[in-house]
Amino acid sequence: MGSASSMLTQYDIEEVQEHCNHLFSQQEIVCLYQRFCQLDRNAKGFISSDEFLSIPEFVMNPLSQRLLKMVDGLNFKDFVAFLSAFSTKASAHQKIELIFKVYDSDRNGKVSFKDILEVLKDLSGSYMSDEQREEVLGQVLKEAGYSKDCYLTLDDFTKVLGHSGVKMDVEVPVD
């Protein structure tokens, strides 16, 4: 399904659905496609950073730059696969996996103290000093039984976040 045409065939929809493990209904995929075409102004087949940044609500989000790196230049199939973690049908594990990926920016499968600090910096901006962030993080890590030099893996994340569940759902508005 190379370049984005404005018509999705049934075959295309099924292919995309397969790729996202059936986490979106066919109708939702059609709606996502309309949204994709709306954002992809010159029908290049992917949405560029600039086009994402034309959504004011997205720009306002503290984690927008991190998400942008993950979502920039994706074609429609991968775009849907990325968003599938936010589907109501997605499992907690899939959601935790996405959260892990956001932290693990260098994709080495482990999240270091520094990685978490980076995300904290995005979230708190200039309202916390670096020392404050280190202190807070060090303290909660210690209480949870990890040291500052520990690397957290996906299993650790699952252990920490899995208890109370992760609520990360986005509804696709179906016209």
Partner 1 sequence: MNSTGTLKSSSSELDLDRPNIEDYLPSGAAIQQEPRGKLRLHDLLDISPTLSEAAGAIVDDSFTRCFKSNPPEPWNWNIYLFPLWCFGVFLRYLIIFPTRALVLTIGWIIFLSAFIPVHLLLKGHDKLRRNIERSLVEMMCGFFVASWTGVVKYHGPRPSRRPKQVFVANHTSMIDFIILEQMTAFAVIMQKHPGWVGLLQSTILESVGCIWFNRSEAKDREIVARKLRDHVQGTDNNPLLIFPEGTCVNNHYTVMFKKGAFELGCTVCPIAIKYNKIFVDAFWNSRKQSFTTHLLQLMTSWAVVCDVWYLEPQNLKPGETPIEFAERVRDIISTRAGLKMVPWDGYLKYSRPSPKHRERKQQNFAESVLRRLEEK
Give the binding site for partner 1 (CB under 8 A): 32, 35, 38-39, 41, 52-64, 67, 71, 83, 86, 95, 98-99, 102-103, 116, 119-120, 123-128, 132, 136-137, 139-141, 143-144, 146, 157, 160-161, 163-164, 166-173
- From the number of C-beta atoms within 10 Å of its C-beta (0-12, 13-18, 19+), residue 38 rates as exposed
Please identify, using beta-carbon distances, which residue of 5 and 54 lies nearer to partner 1.
54
**Cα separation, 68 vs 85, whole angstroms:** 16
Nearer to partner 1, 20 or 99 (CB): 99
**Identity of the residue, 1 or 136, whose beta carbon is nearer to partner 1 in the bound complex:** 136
Residue with Cβ nearer partner 1 (1 or 160): 160
Our CB check for partner 1 shows the closer of 13 and 32 to be 32
Rounded Cα gap, residues 150 and 152, in angstroms: 6
Sorted by sequence, the CB contacts under 8 Å of residue 125 that are 6+ apart come out as: 62
SS3 70: helix
Minimum CB separation of residue 13 from partner 1 in Å reads 17
Shortest Å distance, C-beta 1 to partner 1: 20
Report how far residue 80's alpha carbon sits from residue 31's, in angstroms, rounded to the nearest whole number: 11
Q: Is the dihedral of CA 122, 126, 130, 133 positive or negative?
A: negative
Q: How far is the CB of 128 from partner 1 (least distance, A)?
A: 5
State the minimum distance, in angstroms, from the CB of residue 86 to partner 1.
Answer: 5
**Rounded to the nearest whole angstrom, what is the least distance from the CB of residue 56 to partner 1 in the complex?**
4
In the complex, minimum distance from the CB of residue 99 to partner 1, in angstroms, rounded to a whole number = 6
Nearer to partner 1 (CB atom), residue 22 or residue 53: 53
**Cα–Cα distance measured from residue 158 to residue 95, given in angstroms and rounded to the nearest whole number:** 10
Select from 3, 51, 2, 11 the least CA-distant residue to 29.
11
